[in-house]
A and B are shown apart, each in its own frame.
Chain A
């Protein structure tokens, strides 16, 4: 079981016009932690992921997604089929 955690932290930060230091202060972590997560050097705990999502006022799923060999794509296709009622 593998998969890589991708995040949109940088994009969401830019949307809110926040620096890494601003986000770190809001989420009560250090700027180094924000930087390490943003660059993919660290996988945050659930608590920290929720805290970052809360600080950026977005759902945690918007911020983080698991990229597995084709599984993410498959799930997205199936979800869109379900929503359009296709079999």
Chain B
């Protein structure tokens, strides 16, 4: 097994990957809650879960910030600049955007059929939430898959 010494740049890339994973989890959670509300607006379990969401996001964000502090990552450092301007990162971001856009266009009609049983306002809410969720999840998921090597 080859042992690579971890450079500050590697740590920054790991941080970026974790942030994207966090975005994926938060988008999935919020999306599920939003769609849940559209179908069952008075569900007590959903209501209590929605109260917990800001706390969970704050804990996850604090965890990520703690990781950045422990790793000695600073905004504006040469490593962060290198990572941000890295061409492979730009390429996979562009690919992830394209995939997310394509999926978003394709799922619009099937999604509309999913919400035909709902009243107009709630169907609109469900469409909006599901569209945003699918876009963010597809984008973050594609990025993570392409960035795995």
Residues of A within 8 A of B (CB): 21, 24-25, 28-33, 35-36, 42, 44-45, 48
Residues 1 to 51 of chain B near chain A (Cβ within 8 Å) = 4, 7, 9-10, 13
Interface of B is mostly: helix
Min CB distance A16 to B, Å, is 18
Chain B residues bordering chain A, tally (CB within 8 A): 14
Q: Flag if A30 contacts B91 (CB, 8 Å).
A: no
Q: Flag if A36 contacts B91 (CB, 8 Å).
A: yes
Q: Flag if B88 contacts A36 (CB, 8 Å).
A: yes
B89 partner residues in chain A, CB cutoff 8 A = 30, 32-33
B87 partner residues in chain A, CB cutoff 8 A = 29, 33, 42, 44-45, 48
5 smallest beta-carbon distances between A and B, as pairs: A33-B88, A30-B86, A36-B88, A32-B88, A33-B87
> Complex formed: what's the CA distance from A33 to B89 in Å?
8
